[in-house]
Amino acid sequence: MKKHEFRLTADWNGGGRNGEGRISAGNLDTQISIPKEMGGPGVGTNPDEMLIGAAATCYIITLAAMLELRQIPVEKLSLESIGVVGEHKGRPKFERITHKPHLILGAGVTVEQVEEAKSLIETAERSCMISNALRGNVALSVTAQVDRVK
């Protein structure tokens, strides 16, 4: 596989840890700061949201591609991801991410396709490159809901 480079630029506007900044990378252009929950100004996004965003988008794209490859008819695919930050040795630590996909399969889907979709829900988490980059440092899990159009 060909190697790909992704570039991001960042600017920080003073104020130490309570300052604000801006990041730009490809289609991403947003303000950044420390979240209010961690004593910061809460302007724009923050590293915690970006980490969970990277994990969630990688997961849902991977799952959608796997379902398409297996020709499993999908009516709707949505996702809620929850990240938990705790403290380890007096410092903040990203502890876990739980993905909660809700998959609604199309009309006429077979029992076998439903079972395969359920299997792919787990496989997608293990196949996502962001999950694999985090594995061993952040606990990752999936709790899914699978329904069929009636």
Condensed to tens digits (0 to 9), the pLDDT of residues 96-122 reads: 999 999 999 998 899 999 999 999 999
| pLDDT-based confidence at residue 75 (cuts at 50, 70, 90) | very high
Sheet containing strand 9-12, edge to edge, reads: 9-12, 21-25, 28-32
Average pLDDT over residues 129-150: 95
| pLDDT-based confidence at residue 51 (cuts at 50, 70, 90) | very high
Question: Is residue 138 within 8 Å of residue 96, measured between CB atoms?
Answer: yes
- What global pTM score does this model have? 0.92
* Residue 14 confidence (pLDDT): 81
- pLDDT, averaged across the chain: 95
Cα separations in angstroms, 66 against 5, 24, 26, 63, 143:
24, 30, 25, 5, 18
Cα separations in angstroms, 4 against 24, 66, 100:
17, 22, 29
Average pLDDT over residues 37-43: 91
Q: Give the span between the Cα atoms of 124 and 126, in whole angstroms.
A: 5
Q: Give the span between the Cα atoms of 138 and 85, in whole angstroms.
A: 10
